[in-house]
Amino acid sequence: MKPLALLRIVAALGSGALFGFGLSLSGMIDPARVLGFLNLASGHWDPSLVFVLGGAVIVAIPGVMLQRRLGRPLFDEGFHLPQKTAIDGRLVGGSALFGIGWGLAGFCPGPALSALSLGHAPVLVFVLAMVIGMILHDRVIAPRLPG
């Protein structure tokens, strides 16, 4: 394995571990906390997710500003940014599907993977369904979509 590829893997694992630790520390792997944020009508609104999201934005803004000044990342040949920037039906539909799933389950992919460490059956079912959905999309749906 090339040293650059190994460094890329180590950096990705380190970043993922730090992200998972942050999710665990903030309590965002608890679907009840996320659902408490999303359910405004319950009378027991939990605003903690606002602070987690705000912290993420505070960290992301300098990162995006730095990325725009760099010619390439440290451990890769170039940045892998989306080529499509138009807001279309697929983007809106996928965002809506993501939001519905998040609102029903209280999980999105990152916290769900972090919550696997808890060993709870509902988390395993969610992650399994998520992986099956990703495979179905990549192997069945995406090849049939126009350009």
Under a CB-based contact definition with an 8 Å cutoff, are residues 66 and 79 in contact?
no
Q: How many CB atoms lie within 10 A of CB 115?
A: 24
Measure the CA angle with vertex 11, ends 16 and 48; round to 5°: 30
CA–CA separation, 28 vs 114, rounded Å?
A: 9
CA–CA separation, 98 vs 101, rounded Å?
A: 5
CA–CA separation, 95 vs 111, rounded Å?
A: 17
The type of residue at 140 is V
Q: Is the model's pLDDT at 131 over the cut of 90?
A: yes
Nearest to 115 by CA among 146, 103, 105: 105
H helices present in the chain, as ranges: 3-26, 31-38, 48-69, 89-105, 109-115, 121-136
- In the chain, how many domains are there? 1
- Tokens encoding 12: 């990705």
Reported pTM = 0.75
Q: Is the model's pLDDT at 140 over the cut of 90?
A: yes
* Percent of the chain residues past pLDDT 70, beyond the cut: 99
Summarize pLDDT for 68-103 with one digit per residue, the tens. Answer: 999 998 888 889 988 888 999 989 998 998 899 888
- Could you list the residue range(s) of the whole structural domain that residue 31 is in? 3-144
CA 138 vs CA 91, 101, 106, 130, 144: distances in Å:
16, 19, 24, 12, 10
Q: What is the mean pLDDT of residues 52-78?
A: 91
